[in-house]
Amino acid sequence: MNNKSQEIGFKKEVLEKIIKAFFSSNFEESVRRIPLNMCLKGCEVFYRCCIYKERAVLRGRVIAGLGFSIEDDDEATDLSEYAKKALEREHVDDKPLTFIETACQGCASSRIYVTDICQGCEARSCKVACKFNAVSIVNGRSKIDPAKCKNCKMCISLCPYGAIVKIAVPCEDACPVSAIKKNENGTAKIDYNVCISCGKCMMACPFGVVNEKSQIVDVLKNIKTGKKVVAMVAPSIVGQFQGSIYQLKAALKKVGFYDVYEVAEGSDITTKNEALEFVERMESGESFMTTSCCASYSQFIKKHLFEVKEFVSTTKTPMYYIAQKVKTEHPEYITVFISPCVAKKNEAYDYKNVNYVISYEELDALFSTKDIKVQDCIEEKFEIESSKQGRNFGVTGGVAGAVAKLLEDKKNFVRAYVINGLNKETIKHLKKMVKDKKCLEGNLVEVMGCEGGCIGGNATICASRIAQKAIKILCDQSKDIEKK
């Protein structure tokens, strides 16, 4: 089983080869040969049973890299045809994730299991601890009935020998909304009607089964045809690449973008609008309000907890506001949001002002292919400097903190509470808040889909602690948000 960094490396290598193919003399033929060139005849196979399966997995990654669903592949369509369709495509779809069934190991179902270490002890701690009568003693040893087991793990915690374990399925365990199912072949699949595009399955799977459908070809073809393509960089991009945010702007222009905007400028607009809305709601007697910036959280509300909608801020996201500004001033621009997560592709699909979304991972592949090092570029300032609070939006607590800063004159008015990552436990807490129509912990509830905030997003390329440190340095150099 390959480790996570190796799996990410393979995805990046495929993206780099697609980008190189785009700039070659024959895009279609170069794309067709990617799996063959990456897995040459006679080479040693490390991860699959044979060279043909290895190529099949690579084929799937190329299809995703070209922006298509692997599930729709009939295996008869040549990769050169996909490349041609990618060049001809005018619109992208709203399902950002896709699944390589060939790569899936068909993991055993997740369950609590008694191993051979069980000593059949007299205490019978596991049996006593189970409130659901799922543990019985067979031939002197503990046995768990999967039909009765509720996965409470009490038996695991009390077994003196550590003989009881949970057999994990990484993608299933990571999904906060149980969108991962088993198909008739025993391999995993995504139920897109349930999926909130949080990308946790993509991060968790050590075989790279879940892939993001890339829009990099769409962006490159617009640049190549001479259109004014502009990059809108999310606040969490600070620290992802060596060098400053101002060097990053120069690097993006060097790679072909006409101009670069800080989405943190949009964060300042979000803060001001959200603060006004929060004051209005609290003064009208509402018990709490939740933020609305996280795209995964928005999907969660639509598909799983519509009842929370009445408590959610109607303020738009920073991406919305910056894209609106760009298109209002320059309607001819092609806007590209540079994102820390796959969920923003779903959000962008609903906003006509955002044309495309590419991730930090994809941008990293583009820089590598073009041999551009951000830290070597000459700094280029932004026309409008974003605030300290706007630039901190990508860190857990940043959104609520920005609103609190704007309303600091109203002493004790804002009581911020942060839900740091959507998972089964935090979702349970959200449901309780909706049922009780109150939040005991605070009145401004910030919900972040990823732990740590956007710096923990599924398409980031550096550790959260590194990004957080870099963002703090930039924020310390920035001015506070203007209170008007």
> At 413, phi and psi to the nearest 5?
-75, -40
Q: Based on the fold, state whether residues 149 and 204 are members of the same structural domain.
A: no
Q: Based on the fold, state whether residues 285 and 395 are members of the same structural domain.
A: yes
Q: Based on the fold, state whether residues 364 and 227 are members of the same structural domain.
A: yes
Q: Which domain holds residue 44?
A: 4-104+183-213
* Residue 175 placed within a domain: no
Quick one: CA dihedral 447, 451, 452, 454, positive or negative?
negative
* Residue 17 placed within a domain: yes
Q: What is the Cα–Cα distance from 358 to 361, expressed in whole angstroms?
A: 8
Q: Based on the fold, state whether residues 319 and 432 are members of the same structural domain.
A: yes
* Residue 173 placed within a domain: no
Contacts of 210 (CB under 8 A, 6+ apart): 97, 98, 99, 100, 171, 190, 199, 201, 202
* Residue 42 placed within a domain: yes
User: What is the pTM (predicted TM-score) of this model?
Assistant: 0.91
> At 182, phi and psi to the nearest 5?
-100, 135
Can you give the CATH number for the domain in which 129 is found? 3.30.70.20
How much is the pLDDT for 113? Answer: 87
Q: Based on the fold, state whether residues 365 and 277 are members of the same structural domain.
A: yes
Quick one: CA dihedral 321, 325, 331, 333, positive or negative?
negative
Q: Based on the fold, state whether residues 362 and 232 are members of the same structural domain.
A: yes
Residue from 353, 359, 287, 279 nearest 323 by CA: 353
Give whole-number Cα distances, 408 to 62, 270, 275, 483, in Å: 51, 17, 11, 10
Q: Based on the fold, state whether residues 122 and 71 are members of the same structural domain.
A: no
| Residue 386: CB atoms within 10 Å | 27
Q: Based on the fold, state whether residues 222 and 370 are members of the same structural domain.
A: yes
Give whole-number Cα distances, 249 to 211, 233, 392, in Å: 28, 9, 18
Per-residue model confidence as pLDDT tens digits over 262-276: 999 999 999 999 999
* Residue 483 placed within a domain: no
The residues pairing with 7 across neighbouring beta strands, listed in sequence order, are none
Spell out the alpha helix ranges (H) of 101-195: 125-129, 154-158, 170-174
Q: Dihedral angle at the C-alpha atoms of 221, 224, 228, 231, nearest 10 degrees? A: 60
Residues of the chain with pLDDT under 70: 1-8, 40-49, 484
For residue 414, what is the enclosing H or E element?
none
Q: Based on the fold, state whether residues 322 and 383 are members of the same structural domain.
A: yes
Q: What is the Cα–Cα distance from 184 to 202, expressed in whole angstroms?
A: 21
State how many domains the chain has.
3
Q: Based on the fold, state whether residues 209 and 226 are members of the same structural domain.
A: no
Contact 241, 338 (CB under 8 A): no
Q: Which two tokens stand for residue 4?
A: 């996570």
How much is the pLDDT for 48? Answer: 65
| 139, burial (CB in 10 Å: exposed 0-12, middle 13-18, buried 19+) | exposed
* Residue 481 placed within a domain: no
Can you give the CATH number for the domain in which 454 is found? 3.40.950.10
* Residue 385 placed within a domain: yes
Q: What is the DSSP letter of 60?
A: H
Q: Based on the fold, state whether residues 202 and 309 are members of the same structural domain.
A: no
Q: Based on the fold, state whether residues 281 and 362 are members of the same structural domain.
A: yes
How much is the pLDDT for 187? Answer: 84
Q: What is the Cα–Cα distance from 356 to 384, expressed in whole angstroms?
A: 23
Residue 409, classed as helix, strand or coil, is: coil
* Residue 414 placed within a domain: yes
